[in-house]
Amino acid sequence: MMFLLSFWTQDYLVLDKNFTLNNYIEAFTQPVYQLLFSRSLYISLTVTFFTVLLAYPMAYFISFYGGNRKALWLFLITIPFWTSYLLRMFLWKVILGYNGVLNSFLLWLEMISEPLTFILYNSNAVIIALTHGWAPFAILPIFVSLEKIDRSLLEASRDLGDGPIKQFFRVILPLSMPGVVGAALIIFIPTVGDYITPKLVGGTDGLMIANMIQVQFSKANNAPLAAALSVSSLVIVAFISIVFVLLNKKYLRKY
C-alpha cells in the first residue's frame, strides 16, 4: 500500500493514480530532504556508537562481576522502562532546558556564567536522549554474548601469557562481537525512524526524517511524498543493516 502510494500523486483532495517517479525525484533532490536523511543517519549512527560504547562496560560488569546478583542488575536496568518512553524523553527537556536542572546546577557551581544553549533543541539533545533511552536494549545482547564465552578460554589466555588488557582484545572482544553487532542493529534501525524524541527535544535543528514524513502525511497532506520518503528511508536503513549483518557474518562464520 505504502509502496503503491509512493508512485501516485496527491491532487488536492483526490489521488492521481498515474504512475510517476516524481515523488522519489523530489525526495532525493530537494536539499531539505537530503539534509533530513543525512541528519537522521548522523544522529542514529552517533547514538548507536555511544550506546554500544556505554552499554559494553555495563554488560561487561554484570557478566564478569555480577556474581550471583546478575538477575538483580538486569532487573535494575529495566527500571527506567516502568515509565513511558514519552515521559522519559520529556524529562530530558527538564534536565537540558534553559532553566533546566543541568544549567541551574552548573550556574550554581559557577562553572558557567549563563545557561548553555547548545544542549537543547538541536541534534545533540536528540543524541543524548536517544542514547539514554536505548542503552538497555544494547546491554542485553552484549551481556548474552559475554555470558556465552567459556570462562576456561579466559583462563587459557592468561595461562598462555596474556595480561588482562591483551586478554580483552584477543579473546573477549572478538568473541562478543556478535553481541555488539546485534546491539548496533537493534539501536540503529529504530532510532533512524524515531520521531517523538526529535519532536520533543530536537527543536528545528534536531528534526529527523520521520518528523517530515509525519508532516507530509498530515499537515502538508501529501501522502504520496510521505510514502516515497518512507520507502526511501526503509531502503537506506535496509542497506546499512545489511552491511551490519555482513559484518556480523564475518565474525559468526568462525563459530
Partner 1 sequence: MGKLVQVENVFKSFGDVNAVNGVSLGIEEGQFYSLLGPSGCGKTTLLRLIAGFEKPTSGQVFIDNSSMEGIEPNLRPTNMVFQNYAIFPHLNVEENVAYGLRNKRENRTKQNKLVDEALELVGLSGLNKRSANALSGGQKQRVALARALILKPKVLLLDEPLSALDKKLREQMQSELRHLQRAVGITFILVTHDQYEALTMSDRVAVMFDGKVAQEASPRDLYELPTSQKVASFIGEMTFIDGEIIGENKNLKVKSEIFGQITIDKSRVFGQSSKRIVLGIRPEKIAIVPKTSGSKNLVSGKIIDVSYFGETTNYKVSCGTIETLTISSQNSVGQLSYSVGEEIQLKADLDNIIAFSA
What does the binding site for partner 1 look like in residue numbers (CB under 8 A)?
A: 150, 152-153, 155-163, 166, 170-171, 174-175, 251, 254-255
| Minimum CB distance to partner 1, residue 169 (Å) | 12
Pair 79, 184: CB distance under 8 Å: no
Question: How many Å apart are CA 200 and CA 179, to the nearest integer?
Answer: 31
Phi then psi dihedrals of residue 219, to 5 deg: -60, -45
| Minimum CB distance to partner 1, residue 71 (Å) | 21
Q: What is the DSSP string of 183-251?
A: HHHHHHHHHHT--HHHHHH-TTTT--HHHHHHHHHTTT--HHHHHHHHHHHHHHHHHHHHHHHHHHHHH
**Which 3 state secondary structure label does DSSP give 3?**
helix
Which of 154, 228 has the CB closer to partner 1? Answer: 154
Which of 175, 180 has the CB closer to partner 1? Answer: 175
**Which 3 state secondary structure label does DSSP give 13?**
coil
Closest residue by Cα to residue 131 from 187, 189, 74, 69: 187
Which of 103, 145 has the CB closer to partner 1? Answer: 145
Q: What grid cell was written down for 30?
A: 530537494
| Minimum CB distance to partner 1, residue 170 (Å) | 8
Which of 106, 149 has the CB closer to partner 1? Answer: 149
**Which 3 state secondary structure label does DSSP give 15?**
strand
Which of 69, 170 has the CB closer to partner 1? Answer: 170
Which of 16, 150 has the CB closer to partner 1? Answer: 150
Indicate left, alpha or beta for 194 from its phi (over 0: left) and psi (-120 to 50: alpha).
beta
| Minimum CB distance to partner 1, residue 55 (Å) | 21
Which of 56, 121 has the CB closer to partner 1? Answer: 56
| Minimum CB distance to partner 1, residue 69 (Å) | 17
The kind and range of the H/E element at 9 are strand 9-11
| Minimum CB distance to partner 1, residue 149 (Å) | 9
| Minimum CB distance to partner 1, residue 198 (Å) | 39
